[in-house]
Amino acid sequence: MPRRASRGRLAGLLATILVAVAGCAVGPSARPVIVVRDGTTDTPTTSGRSAPLPPLDEPAASSITWSDCGAATRARLGDTAGSSSLPFHCGQITGVLDAPNNPGVGEVALSVLKAGTGPIPLVVVNDVGGDPGTLYAARLASQLPEPMLTVFSLVGMDRRGTGASDPLQCAPQSARTRIVGFDPADSQLDALLDAARVASQECVLAMDDRLTALDSWRTAGDLEQLRVELGVGHLNAIGHGDGSRVLTAYADRYAGHTGRFVLDGSPDPTLDATGLAKATAAGAEAAFEAFAADCRTRGCALGGNPKQELLALVDQLRAHPMADHTGFELTAGGALHAVLAGLATRAVWPALADAIARARAGDSGPLAQFVAPLLGLVDGASPKPHLPGAGQGRVEPARLDAELTRCNDTLTRLPPEQI
């Protein structure tokens, strides 16, 4: 296949997968089923003058009770755990639910983790569909030079509705499986739309007003509560993916407490749903190109053309979905979801390349593990133990459920004919 055709085909598959997993492609109306946007977004003003940098505050008096959770966190990190001497501590704070139809009322439990010993807290906010914030902070800390973590401590918070922060667990497993397993080359969208509609409706029935309280604006309020309980005057933070949107909302709501922000992969606020979907797909395509280049440099198992190997695997699974030892069936759509999940963490790229190669050879197990968090599964079928702190064991919530709440940040969705 010519290189240009191969590139266009992969970009198209990634675009469809990225749109399909978001509830913003669901239903015939102009607004998502679960969207409630009760506020307005002010147009930001700009100034030609540069403001002085806010200080890097050390805590005056933190009210968070931290407990050691090093062993449990390293178990969650697995092969990416890094140094065994890096300290991890876990805690919990309480935010205000603040549902649109019941403002200022209700509570939401928020799980937090601190990595390192540095006196200056640096909060990290991840994409809603990625690793929970506690795991993301731990993973990022394990990749940083140890001297940095004697100056800063990374603080991660599981966003409301994710991880161990009152996680959203409402979509039927059958609907999750149908959404993740959707073949992006299929022009018939009825099955996908029906599955997403069922997931949304079940979540509306199960969660009621809690569902409408899961958005970036209210998550920014949780960050303000975290700042207060950390005991600092300014919030210094890193936002990854749509975590950057949360920090933008924070700066809008709490300008006087906004410290130094780094926005990594921030969504373009000027794009409509169509433009955002295309930009996101282009970003995924660029990430795969970087993965492929790294793969070739290392001499990985995918050989000289990793993209062609992935496309061949997709065709292979389209013709014959592949079950692992637990009976979990990996489809073409599931494989692409797995690849997108693996691309998000550079440290696991070697494992992702090996997993694609093993799937090409008939063993889908390793690649299925990359998509398992979306479904709340491990080894294809068994509940995955979630370890937010030492001595705690819970079922890892399916990340797909929280992914469906992205629509709470937008007033528009893609009509089916544009998917």
| 219 in a structural domain | yes
How would residue 24 be classed by pLDDT, with cut points 50, 70 and 90?
Answer: low
- CATH number of the domain bearing residue 227: 3.40.50.1820
How would residue 7 be classed by pLDDT, with cut points 50, 70 and 90?
Answer: low
Is the same domain home to 139 and 93?
Answer: yes
Mean pLDDT calculated for residue range 255-261: 96
Instruction: Name the domain boundary from 200, 229, 264.
Output: 264
> What does pLDDT average to over the chain?
84
Is the same domain home to 352 and 224?
Answer: no
Would you say residue 28 has pLDDT above 50?
A: no
Would you say residue 120 has pLDDT above 80?
A: yes
Q: In whole angstroms, give the CA distance from residue 42 to residue 65.
A: 37
Structure token digits, residue 384: 């995955």
| 61 in a structural domain | no
Q: How many domains does the chain have?
A: 2
Structure token digits, residue 255: 């300008």
Report pLDDT for 41: 42
Closest CA to 265 of 281, 252, 280: 280
Report pLDDT for 269: 74
| 206 in a structural domain | no
Is the same domain home to 163 and 181?
Answer: no
Is the same domain home to 260 and 306?
Answer: no
How would residue 49 be classed by pLDDT, with cut points 50, 70 and 90?
Answer: low
SS3 state at 201: helix
Would you say residue 26 has pLDDT above 50?
A: no
CB–CB of 179/237 below 8 Å?
Answer: no
Report pLDDT for 135: 95
| 42 in a structural domain | no
Is the same domain home to 144 and 75?
Answer: yes
Closest CA to 310 of 277, 328, 290, 288: 288
CB–CB of 125/247 below 8 Å?
Answer: yes
Is the same domain home to 119 and 227?
Answer: yes
Ranked by mean pLDDT, the top range of 85-99, 263-277, 366-380 is: 85-99
Ranked by mean pLDDT, the top range of 2-11, 111-120, 168-177, 384-393 is: 111-120
Q: In whole angstroms, give the CA distance from residue 377 to residue 32.
A: 27
How would residue 159 be classed by pLDDT, with cut points 50, 70 and 90?
Answer: very high
Is the same domain home to 14 and 117?
Answer: no
Is the same domain home to 305 and 255?
Answer: no
Element (H, E) at 110: strand 107-115
| 343 in a structural domain | yes
Would you say residue 3 has pLDDT above 60?
A: no
**218: domain range?**
67-167+214-264
Share of the chain above pLDDT 70, in %: 82
Q: In whole angstroms, give the CA distance from residue 117 to residue 147.
A: 10
Mean pLDDT calculated for residue range 48-77: 88
Mean pLDDT calculated for residue range 308-325: 95
Instruction: Name the domain boundary from 264, 284, 304.
Output: 264
Is the same domain home to 245 and 294?
Answer: no
CB–CB of 160/214 below 8 Å?
Answer: yes
Ranked by mean pLDDT, the top range of 55-64, 129-138, 376-385 is: 129-138
| 91 in a structural domain | yes
The distance in angstroms from the start CA to the end CA of the chain is 24
Answer with the residue of higher pLDDT: 134 or 32.
134
Would you say residue 2 has pLDDT above 50?
A: no
Mean pLDDT calculated for residue range 380-408: 56
Report pLDDT for 33: 33
Report pLDDT for 61: 86
Report pLDDT for 4: 43
Report pLDDT for 383: 40
Is the same domain home to 220 and 359?
Answer: no
Would you say residue 22 has pLDDT above 90?
A: no
Is the same domain home to 160 and 296?
Answer: no
165-195 pLDDT per residue, tens: 999 999 999 999 999 999 988 888 888 889 9
Instruction: Name the domain boundary from 375, 391, 407.
Output: 375
How would residue 306 be classed by pLDDT, with cut points 50, 70 and 90?
Answer: very high
Residue in the structure block whose two tokens are 């979540």: 203
| 204 in a structural domain | no
| 410 in a structural domain | no
Is the same domain home to 121 and 250?
Answer: yes
